[in-house]
């Protein structure tokens, strides 16, 4: 099993930067690694991503030197299992709104004694060929990055309880769904939404690394300065920004 470089960096207090990829493309995952992203976030929550297509993207991310992380479509043990068994080194689970739901994520992502993840000689375990399954479970529990998304008013209200759940490596603030839950759909930068994000940062107070999104260079810098140590952009935003800038330059 590969070492989780992103988890090591977060534990050392460093900032990590990644890219959401919502399209089934192993080449794009590899390119993101080659240009220097610390991790690739394979988005199986939105879009046409299946475990089969995510499998090839995990291979691409590994080839490019990026840590493969999957955002799963739902907080279900068997769903999480299928995406982790293909070799993802991290899992992001959306809409975690209670400590009970957070505990379910940890249980699904880790083996005994930390969780209840099903065990088999799958790719994540080197097909059972490179080490014993007993040794693999210990290593997997160490390397797996468990991320839960805080993206509703309910989650914010129960944040103190969620923070008490052992085994969570990153709390990821999802500004788009948070904005919607507050009555501002499509307005993640609304002042009231951002005030709640600041509230989350203050309440967490460095107890767990925080992650969030940033569509622009300026926003990425701002997120880092306000205390986020995991910053994620989107492949679509990157393509749009660079493409429009080139078109404007070429056409004068």
Q: Write down the pLDDT at residue 110.
A: 98
Mean pLDDT of 120-128: 94
Res. 252: pLDDT tops 90: no
- pLDDT for 1 equals 83
Q: Is the pLDDT of residue 136 over 90?
A: yes
Among 46, 56, 190, 222, the one annotated catalytic = 46
- CB neighbours of residue 157 within 10 Å: 11
Q: What is the mean pLDDT of the chain?
A: 96
Closest of 172, 184, 177 to residue 228, by C-alpha = 172
Percent of the chain with pLDDT over 70: 100
Asked about 46 being catalytic, the answer comes back as yes
Q: Which domains does the chain have, with CATH numbers?
A: 5-251 (3.20.20.60)
Closest to 214 measured CA to CA, from 20, 8, 36: 20
CA 146/CA 90 separation, integer angstroms:
6
In 3D space, the residue among 252, 193, 199 whose CA is nearest the CA of residue 226 turns out to be 199
Interval 60-119: pLDDT, tens: 999 999 999 999 999 999 999 999 999 999 999 999 999 999 999 999 999 999 999 999
pLDDT in tens, 9-18: 999 999 999 9
Residue 112 backbone phi and psi in degrees, to 5: -55, 140
State the pTM of this model: 0.95
């Amino acid at each position: 099993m590969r070492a989780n470089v992103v988890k090591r960096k977060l534990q050392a207090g460093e900032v990590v930067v990644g890219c959401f990829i919502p399209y089934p493309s192993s080449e794009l995952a590899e390119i993101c690694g080659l240009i220097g992203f610390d991790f690739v976030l394979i988005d199986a929550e939105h879009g046409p991503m299946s475990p089969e297509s995510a499998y090839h993207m995990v291979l691409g991310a590994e080839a490019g030197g990026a840590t493969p992380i999957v955002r799963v479509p739902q907080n279900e043990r068997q769903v999480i299992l299928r995406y982790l068994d293909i070799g993802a080194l991290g899992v992001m689970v959306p809409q975690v709104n209670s400590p009970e739901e957070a505990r379910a994520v940890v249980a699904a992502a880790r083996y005994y004694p930390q969780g209840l993840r099903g065990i088999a000689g799958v790719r994540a375990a080197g097909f059972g060929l490179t080490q014993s399954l007993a040794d693999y479970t210990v290593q997997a529990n160490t390397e797996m990055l468990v991320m839960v998304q805080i993206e509703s008013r309910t989650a914010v209200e129960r944040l103190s309880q969620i923070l008490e759940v052992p085994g969570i490596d990153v709390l990821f603030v999802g500004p788009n769904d948070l904005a919607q839950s507050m009555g501002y759909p499509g307005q993640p930068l609304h002042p009231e939404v951002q005030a709640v994000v600041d509230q989350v940062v203050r309440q967490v107070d460095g107890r767990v690394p925080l992650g969030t999104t940033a569509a622009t260079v300026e926003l990425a810098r701002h997120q880092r300065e306000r205390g986020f140590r995991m910053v994620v952009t989107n492949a679509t935003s990157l393509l749009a920004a660079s493409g429009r800038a080139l078109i404007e330059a070429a056409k004068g």
